[in-house]
Amino acid sequence: MTKITKNVSIMCFHDELCQVYNALMTALSLLREGSKVTIFFGSRGVNAIHKDKVKDLKCLPDQPREVGDAVMKRMEEMELPSVDDLLVMLHMEGAKMLACPLNVPLFGMSKADFVEGVELANPATYYKEVVVQADMNLTF
């Protein structure tokens, strides 16, 4: 069976655990099918790549606490990888991970706060070289 290779741009603008998880699992699945994957973390999504804040992402914070806790419990029962683990897998398997150079300082962060493998996006080339060239642009 032939793998389909696509150039994929994924933008993660949230720091809600389920949104981040969906973005990362989608990226990993596409990467493992042979696609070239670039993940851009903008707006509150930069919290998902902060080496300390990533451990405190909340599941469904707009719902009653027991709803988010129930989802977290099911994720643990399913033995799903953590967001930390997914970020390591994506880095090690060749995904390009970029942070928004405007939102990083806005949220009081610097490159030193990033998990391994994340670089600052170059605003002069990001859209032209990544988004416009992509076969698929997915937003979470």
Question: What digits encode the pLDDT tens for the residues 30-59?
Answer: 999 999 999 999 999 999 999 999 999 999
Given this model, what pLDDT does residue 1 score? 62
Given this model, what pLDDT does residue 46 score? 97
Q: Over the stretch 88-115, which tens digit does the pLDDT of each residue have?
A: 999 999 999 999 999 999 999 999 999 9
Given this model, what pLDDT does residue 75 score? 86
Q: How many CB atoms lie within 10 A of CB 79?
A: 6
Q: Over the stretch 51-72, which tens digit does the pLDDT of each residue have?
A: 999 999 999 888 898 998 898 8
Q: Where are the domains of the chain?
A: 7-139
- Is the pLDDT confidence value at 77 over 90? yes
Residue carrying the six token digits 């076969």:
135
Percentage of the chain beyond pLDDT 90 is: 82
Given this model, what pLDDT does residue 61 score? 85
Given this model, what pLDDT does residue 5 score? 82
Q: How many CB atoms lie within 10 A of CB 40?
A: 23
Q: pTM for this structure?
A: 0.91
Superfamily (CATH) of domain 7-139: DsrEFH-like (3.40.1260.10)
- Is the pLDDT confidence value at 118 over 90? yes
> What's the chain's length in residues?
140
Average pLDDT over residues 65-94: 92
